[in-house]
Amino acid sequence: MIIVDAHQHYWQPSRGDYGWLVQAPAALQQAFLPHDLRAQRAAAGVQLSVLVQAAPTEQETRYLFELAQDDSSVVGVVGWVDMEAGDVSARIDALIRDGRGLLRGLRPMTQDLADPDWLARPSLDRAFDCIQDGGLSFDALVDMRQFPALLRRLRRHPRLNIVLDHAGKPAIRDGRFDPWTRWMEELSQHPSLHCKLSGLLTLLGEPMREDAIEPYVAALFAHFGAGRLIWGSDWPVLTMQADYAHWLQLAMHLTERYASGRQAEVFAANAVRFYALDIDLLNPRSTP
């Protein structure tokens, strides 16, 4: 079975535009580049990946395009654009051109913004129109504070392909399940919204066991179904809690428990469809 990692990062702190890393654990404040993941990914049996931005600059998106040239496993990039720029249409067109088919989506770092209603600002309508018209997807990096704004955006752009990164970052370490699952029930009513099965282990607190994520995973399958869940590693953030192969095997085990026989969708087909990846899952020999 072909496996697509739909959420993975590379970064080089010496570039100077990863402001959030200053507050991150020291173990993450180093370079994570293709040669650091290649062997782990191969050992785990993951053939392909979607590279996701980690800095709020268009320069970093172009840096990811460059890295992808040296990593044949990368079949798509989710980049960043200044969505409030007056020339946002031209900026998106330029990224599409420079990516030469690699740009598959865009992601603002919404969780870091002071305004919890930012996603719903009418001034962003033009940017969302351009994302949709350009055949791109939108990654929603949000937590519960931004859910109301995300809901309003879904209503305003009902045909836009949106994926909820890291299951909307439930407050697992605080044991806050009910508010989050009520939001999952409401948000999942919008058929264009998908959800990433990613980032959950790093939301655990100490000394919580990893099986504490299971009620959250069960809720995701109950609300989104296997047809709208997309697996991602969230490497290298994942390394703070587990290794690459362990999270893959745990996620596969949970998928078999809650959606038996649907692993091919969660671990490949949904990502290929959502990001419109140029991959023939029925013909593995055509895979890079």
Q: Is the pLDDT of residue 201 over 90?
A: yes
283's enclosing H/E stretch is none
Higher-pLDDT residue of 175 and 8 is: 8
Lowest-pLDDT range of 41-50, 130-139, 266-275, 279-288: 279-288
Give the pLDDT score at 176: 86
Q: What is the mean pLDDT of residues 170-181?
A: 93
**Is the pLDDT score of 287 beyond 60?**
no
Tell which residue, 178, 194, 204, 235, has the closest CA to residue 40.
235
Average pLDDT, the chain: 96
CB 141 within 8 A of CB 83: no
Lowest mean pLDDT among 192-201, 203-212, 261-270: 203-212
CA-based torsion, 216, 221, 224, 230: positive or negative: positive
Residue 284: predicted pLDDT: 56
What's the confidence (pLDDT) of residue 137?
A: 98
Single-letter amino acid code for the residue at 235: W
Residue 285 has pLDDT above 70, yes or no: no
pLDDT over threshold 70, residue 288: no
pLDDT of residue 282: 78
Domains of the chain by start residue, with CATH:
4-286 (3.20.20.140)
pLDDT, tens digit, 9 for 90 and up, residues 29-73:
999 999 999 999 999 999 999 999 999 999 999 999 999 998 999
pLDDT tens readout for residues 95-131: 999 999 999 999 999 999 999 999 999 999 999 999 9
What separation in angstroms does the CA of 164 have from each of 75, 93, 122, 232?
20, 24, 21, 12
Checking if the pLDDT of 165 tops 80, the result is yes
% the chain with pLDDT above 90: 95
Sheet (strand 48-52) strand order: 4-8, 48-52, 74-79, 103-106, 137-140, 162-164, 193-197, 229-231
pLDDT in tens, 67-91: 999 899 999 999 999 999 999 999 9
Return the pLDDT at 175.
86
The SS3 call for residue 273 is helix
Question: Three-class SS of residue 17?
Answer: coil
